[in-house]
Structure 1
Amino acid sequence: MTEKRSTPRIMHRAGELRKNQTPAEAKLWSRLRAHRLAGVGFRRQHAIGNYITDFCAPSKMLVIELDGSQHLEQEEYDAERTAFLKSKGYRVLRFYNNDVMKNIEKVLEVILENL
């Protein structure tokens, strides 16, 4: 079965998000980019189906999501997105922006444990 490609609208939005990273995304990306973590390739704002993930290591089927403060509507959307990603075989790790900003080493340790 072939995988449904992301729409041009989703791809455009992913590009916009790459240009406008949050401080937490920028901090984590500086540690993931260019195979810096265990030699694994990561992509940022990577589209999978109709969803855009914050970070993805396709070779490891691992998605990393960063969350700020949330409300119920966002939590429901995140649960739907996580269910979709898991149905495609991806594992999903979630971290709060605050964790990345204040304890990046622990975040990286958890990511390494899941590669």
Structure 2
Amino acid sequence: MDQRQFAKTLRKNMTDPEQLLWRHLRAHRMCDQKFRRQQPIGPYIVDFVHFGARLVVEADGGQHNGSANDAVRDAWLRGQGFTVLRYWNDEILQNIEAVLEAILKELAKSVPSPPAPLPQGERGEHQIASIRDFHEP
């Protein structure tokens, strides 16, 4: 099975902790930020990713405890500019608020806030000036 097909299968068969986390991350529900689930990145498929913030979030079961493969994978992802956050399934199920708060804190480090709109008077003056500049020879 190719990587894209495998990712699609993973999306259809998410674990309970992944489903719970996805309910909070999907559809821009977390501060209007876009996450993707079961997304191929290079040779890996990550549980959740926010490409703008270069943030990967993993939901780990017991098979990940002390995993050398995870260490190699995380190092590769960090080399690509991603931050990797890992949470145990029990942590997600029992304390989702703390997990979401930690993800929000990490997002705040990476995603710039949108610029504040100009006051009404200044907005109009800048638009007029830019139109004049455009039309004058």
Normalised TM-score (structure 1): 0.89
2:78 to 74, 86, 89: 86
State yes or no: 1:61 paired with 2:38: no
Shift in CA distance, 47/24, structure 1 to aligned 2, threshold 3 Å: same
Paired residue for 1:35?
A: 28
How far apart are 1:38 and its partner, in Å?
1.2
How far apart are 1:71 and its partner, in Å?
5.9
Normalised TM-score (structure 2): 0.75
Paired residue for 1:97?
A: 89
* Greater radius of gyration (CA): 2
* More moved, 79-88 vs 62-71: 62-71
Which has the bigger relative contact order, CA under 8 A and spacing at least 6? 1
- Identity percentage of aligned residues: 47
Could you list the structure 1 runs, at least 4 aligned residues long, displaced by more than 4 angstroms after superposition: none
Structure 2 gaps of 5+ residues are 108-137
Structure 1 gaps of 5+ residues are 1-7
Distance 1:67 1:19 in 2: 17
- How many residue pairs get aligned? The number is 107
| Secondary structure, counterpart of 1:60 in structure 2 | coil
